[in-house]
Amino acid sequence: MVGSGRKGMALPVLLLLMMALTAIGHGALVLSDRELQATWAFRHFLRAETAAKLGLALAWAIPSDTVGERTPWVEETLVDGQTSTGLHFKGIRRWIGPEFFLLEGVGRTEGWRGERRTAWIGWVLSPTVRVRALLAADSSGSEMARAGVPRGPGEELWRTPQGWSTTECDLFKSSQKELDRGASPGMVAPVFGTHRAGMEVEDPGPSLGLLSLSRLLLLSEESELPHRGEPSSDGSRGCPPDDDPVFLGSTGDILLRNGRHCGLLVTAGDLRLAGDSRFQGLAVVGGDLILENGGDFEGLAEVRNRFFQAEDASFRPSLCPVLRALAEIPTLQKPIMVESELKMPPNRVP
């Protein structure tokens, strides 16, 4: 009886062993399935992130002439599409002020409920904000105030510039109303002139918001002005009603002795107007601004060093030619990306 009892235990033990092996196999199968699901989820995650970056890059590449209205926090879809491999991408822009915007990329993939988002902070120059900043304070050590330039909007600043028709300035009536409201000047001090621990000062000269003096020189069109000297006089360049405003830049001194020039003038050295020369617009000067021997300046100037004006020269503050230059020069409207350290890489300007 004892022997037969031992022999009778073989089948139950075998069944228990088979059940244990079945449980282990099932567990391994479930674990493999979970690992497979996790692998596919991670794959979807990476693909959605790629789609989000694609949407962000395509939105960034949208031409600057499509900036449109800058209504704060209103979502504006710039790109929305799908690839042949099942990637859904979208590029969204939201303005968070008159100059700064949030550019967001959204990515999804087929067969996955989730989505990935990535974002950049961008900046586009606003003519009204820049003019308000110029009138509100000296952002780079300019002696413009001590030269007798008015420090706030007034009727004298809105007079029609010499040689212009009244219709030339009617385009900026909305800017006049905004400036007359006396709103905040926005960011006045230049980022690239602000010293912080661990941050190199890229440019000590004047700036236009995030556009430092060196950046402006890089953006300027190939100038007709020589390194040191004077341009040939063609009577008028960049002045209404026939010409668009010009964007002239020079790494050296500029001497204007004749001709009429309208737009934006940027120099790392001195700017000297003399003789039969007239400039109407905005000048960003890294050295001295010198008006002598009949030189005529009408607009605003941001000067790093000193401002000299002889008795036979004239300086008339005027907002219309400045707003026209900042609004109508396409290069100035190119968006730039604001990085975490508030420093742009050398090739970031599109």
Please state which of the ranges 67-71, 232-236, 275-279 shows the lowest mean pLDDT: 232-236
Q: Can you tell me the mean pLDDT for 171-179?
A: 77
Q: What is residue 154's predicted lDDT score, i.e. its pLDDT?
A: 59
User: What percent of the chain is predicted at pLDDT more than 70?
Assistant: 72
pLDDT of residue 228: 38
**pLDDT at residue 198 greater than cutoff 50:** no
pTM of the model: 0.73
Mean pLDDT, all residues of the chain? 76
Q: What is the mean pLDDT of residues 18-30?
A: 73
Q: What is the pLDDT of residue 343?
A: 41
More confident residue, 312 or 190: 312
pLDDT one-digit tens code per residue, 126-173: 888 888 888 775 443 444 433 444 444 456 788 888 888 888 888 887
Predicted pLDDT of residue 188: 43
Percent of the chain at pLDDT > 90 equals: 19
Is 60 exceeded by the pLDDT of residue 193? Answer: no
Q: What is the pLDDT of residue 201?
A: 42
Higher per-residue confidence, 55 vs 138: 55
List, in order, residues 6 or more apart from 133 with CB less than 8 Å away: 139, 185, 186, 187, 188, 209
pLDDT confidence bin for 97, thresholds 50/70/90: confident
Q: Which pLDDT belongs to residue 105?
A: 93
Of 62-66, 189-193, 293-297, the range with the highest mean pLDDT is 293-297
> 64 vs 21, which has greater pLDDT?
21
pLDDT exceeds cutoff 70 at 299 = yes
